Chain A
Amino acid sequence: MSDLTLRNGTVLAAGKVLPGRQDVVIHDGLVAAIGTDLEAAGEVIDCDGAWVGPGLVDVHTHLREPGQEWKEDIESGSAAAAAGGYTAVVAMPNTDPAIDAGHLARYVQERGRAVGLVDVMAAGCITAGRRGEKLAHLDELWDAGVRLFTDDGDSVADAGLLRRAMEYLAERGGIVSEHCIDAGLAAGGQVHEGEVASRLGMVGVPREAEETIIARDLALVRLTGARYHVQHLSTAGAVALVAAAKAEGLPVTAEATPHHLCFDHGVVAEANPVYKMMPPLREPADVAALRQALRDGIIDLVGTDHAPHAAHEKDVPWEEAPFGVIGLEWAAAVVNTMVGLDQEGFFRVLSSAPARLVGLDGHGDLAVGREANIVVFDPERMADTSRIVSMAPNSPYLGMELRGRVTHTLLRGRLTTRDGEVVQPAGAIG
């Protein structure tokens, strides 16, 4: 593999920002040297002071393959990830069929390798077929490399069944991750239960739909000792529950999505289904609480919940549209614009914490001798919100002014994105 030199970046290595401008020399897919005024090897990319750090890692991506390739597939989703600065993603298992057995997880991961733009780790279901009736093939999934288990799209309604999953996985160190929405409290729900829902006459989803499930799950974590990850926090109350659990010492982590960090329910006023997602956009105070919790480390990381849908599925009246927005391509810019983290904080929530959560050892840390999974992010340039790399059009960020632009992404030393454009690998099985 050819050598590459990233010249004059503001480099974050081993979690610390190095002083001044530094060079990163890559040889054979590994980081060969980091320092000032190094002798360039191979192609030289001038980073001009932009942030250079470990490639971003998303623990919450919907790639839709197998079974829903009209929305997105592993190829198009990988390209969107690379464009967004990601070098690894965890693919959610609510595909068709759902990823509830080892061979299915292997299929997803092998497709990811064949595409070659981003490392794809499969997440597995907690229950067979996501039906909430009996355990999925947890051992097979584990042996295929699955570390994060979730019925994402639904909570496991049966607390007894969830307890068994937690007990079983606690022994192996697996992570139980929940989409926390109580089906009864959220029945028919379309938007946050509040002023906007009331005005539009739409059925609301109260905050308590999320908070009751988190509270229940935390009790089960206390009972079982399982590692537990809360997906897409949306309320100030959910933040408080996670903070209390962490103070108690429970093995709990939590994520926030770019869209919950960016918008409140006010944008729903026109009933444009691009803003329809679950959990719904909440109130300004909730958004402020999520941002603060991310700064404070109560929320550990940003998960995109990149949820692609086809144009015809979203160009319908609100109630008929599916839930979800895409986010891989703008997550970094949203975090940079809306949360106000420094370089260390930025890479903590977007790279090192998510990589550590799921044990992606080659990711989340830029250091000499390690795989060169790297992103170059210019925090001062404006993001490109005029185009979409993903197959899906359901982006709420089009036309927005977001600060921060991914210029280059490297996977094991190879550019997957150069000057903002995705670079297909030579000989990739597209």
Chain B
Amino acid sequence: MRDLLTTEGLSRELLESLLDDGAEFAEVLRRPIPKVPALRGKTVATMFFEPSTRTRLSFERAARALSADILSFSPGTSSLKKGESLKDTVLTIQAMGADLMVVRHTSTGAPWRVAEWTKLPVVNGGDGAHQHPTQALLDSLTLRDRFGSLDGLRIGIVGDIRHSRVARSDIHAFATLGAVVTLVAPPTLLPPDLAGWPVEVSHDLDEVLTELDAVYLLRVQAERGGSSVFPSLPEYRQRFGMTRRRFARLKPDTAVLHPGPMIRGVEIDQEVADDPRCLVLDQVANGVAVRMAVLFQLLGGERDE
């Protein structure tokens, strides 16, 4: 693996090796001194051209736990505002001595462009509504921790799949790892053409609710102007939200996941969000661990302890 840009086409073997390493690093993170010297002397550049808090913090925490140095870039304080191109920005950061770039960008394919320009290993930290592969790894690890394996697991992904890079990443990882994925959304929140997607589709959450082993709720992207893709937030909650009432109908061991940030009261009721079967905080913790695994594998670190 030279870059991690997409989950599409990743082999089961590679996914599982990343999850295995992730599980080991999760153990490291639970130690009294949660740090290993594996990437000492390496520099990870986090290039977030789109506002992000949790993903950037998670990558930086992962890099530090591997003893790597960090070059952190954010558009708010950068020369982008002075008109510098993306190409010049990444070449500049490369010239400062980065060994790997984590790139998040609003535009589809931006991490591929960066990989062409720099020749450095690139990790896609999220591009447009396209891909966010480390999210899929942390979700897969969380489900594997909870259920032992994804084989045969029935996972429902609910909500704004059309605009979701999380869904586009998860679908391929989950399916490759053996899960059966059902997308649940109104037509306006589904991609217009699902040819070739390894999924089933439903427009009725209540119909599929009791079959699911895991319900993956997507954030309602209110900033996309909900009014043009569904009638109102209360109506969305009524049809597609994980309300207390729906939660009570789930099988007793069904897990609830969410990529965050959650909008309590819309896609998830407060009581569900705070229930132990909601694995949101496990996902966050696993995020650091799988990102350690990715950085470790891409930078060819030696495990010397």
Seen from chain A, the residues whose Cβ lies within 8 Å of a Cβ on chain B are 190, 193-195, 197-202, 204, 206, 270-272, 312, 315-320
Contacts and interface: CB of A to CB of B under 8 A. Distances in A.
Interface in B86-139: 86-87, 105-110, 112-113, 127-131
B193 interface: yes
A348 to B, nearest CB: 36
B178 to A, nearest CB: 22
A236 B86 CA distance: 38
B165 interface: yes
A71 B85 CA distance: 17
A316 B113 contact: yes
Contacts of B108: 190, 200-202, 271, 317-319
A206 B194 CA distance: 15
| Nearest 10 pairs of A and B residues by beta carbon | A271-B109, A201-B129, A317-B107, A198-B191, A317-B110, A319-B107, A201-B130, A198-B193, A195-B193, A194-B193
15 contacts: A193-B192, A195-B193, A197-B191, A197-B193, A199-B8, A200-B109, A201-B163, A201-B191, A272-B109, A316-B86, A317-B86, A317-B105, A318-B109, A319-B108, A320-B86
A199 B128 CA distance: 12
B192 to A, nearest CB: 5
Given A194-B192, A197-B192, A202 B129 contact: yes
A117 to B, nearest CB: 33
- Kindly name the residue among A206, A270, A272, A317 whose own CB sees the greatest number of chain B CB atoms within 10 A: A317
Contact of B106 (A200, A204, A319): A319
Interface string B61-94: 0000000000000000000000001110000000
Contacts of B165: 201
A202 B192 contact: no
Contacts of A316: 85-87, 107, 113
A206 B193 CA distance: 11
Interface of B: 8, 85-87, 105-110, 112-113, 127-131, 162-165, 168, 191-197
B169 to A, nearest CB: 10
A271 B6 CA distance: 13
Nearest to B194: A198
A272 B109 CA distance: 8
A78 B233 CA distance: 56
B109 A317 contact: yes
A271 B197 CA distance: 19
B85 A201 contact: no
Contacts of A315: 85, 87, 113
Give the residue among B8, B87, B193, B194 with the most A Cβ atoms within 10 A. Answer: B193
Contacts of A200: 108-109, 128, 130
A320 B83 CA distance: 13
Contacts of B127: 317
Contacts of B128: 200-202, 319
Nearest to B195: A195
A316 B112 CA distance: 10
Nearest to B110: A317
Contacts of B129: 201-202
Given A271-B108, A271-B109, A320-B107, A193 B193 contact: yes
Contacts of A319: 106-108, 128
A215 B299 CA distance: 57
A320 B106 CA distance: 10
A272 B85 CA distance: 17
Contacts of B130: 200-202, 271
B168 A199 contact: yes
Contacts of A317: 86, 105, 107-110, 113, 127
Contacts of B195: 195, 198
Nearest to B88: A312
Contact of B196 (A190, A195, A272, A318): A195
Nearest to B167: A201
B109 A198 contact: no
A98 B191 CA distance: 38
Nearest to A317: B107
A270 B163 CA distance: 19
A319 B50 CA distance: 14
A17 B105 CA distance: 56
Interface centre among A193, A270, A271 (most CB of B within 10 A): A271
Contact of A270 (B112, B131, B192, B197): B112
Contacts of B192: 193-194, 197-198, 204, 206
Nearest to A191: B108
A319 B165 CA distance: 16
A194 B195 CA distance: 9
A319 B109 CA distance: 9
B48 to A, nearest CB: 14
A271 B115 CA distance: 13
B202 to A, nearest CB: 17
Given A198-B193, A200-B130, 4 more contacts: A199-B191, A200-B108, A271-B109, A272-B109
A190 to B, nearest CB: 8
B14 to A, nearest CB: 20
- Of listed B8, B113, B165, residue having the most chain A CB within 10 A: B113
A263 to B, nearest CB: 17
Contacts of A199: 8, 168, 191, 196
Nearest to A320: B107
A195 B195 CA distance: 6
Given A200-B130, A201-B129, A318 B107 contact: yes
A289 B127 CA distance: 34
Nearest to B127: A317
A198 B196 CA distance: 11
Nearest to B107: A317
A200 B168 CA distance: 8
Contacts of A195: 193, 195-196
B105 to A, nearest CB: 6
Contacts of A198: 191-195, 197
Nearest to A190: B108
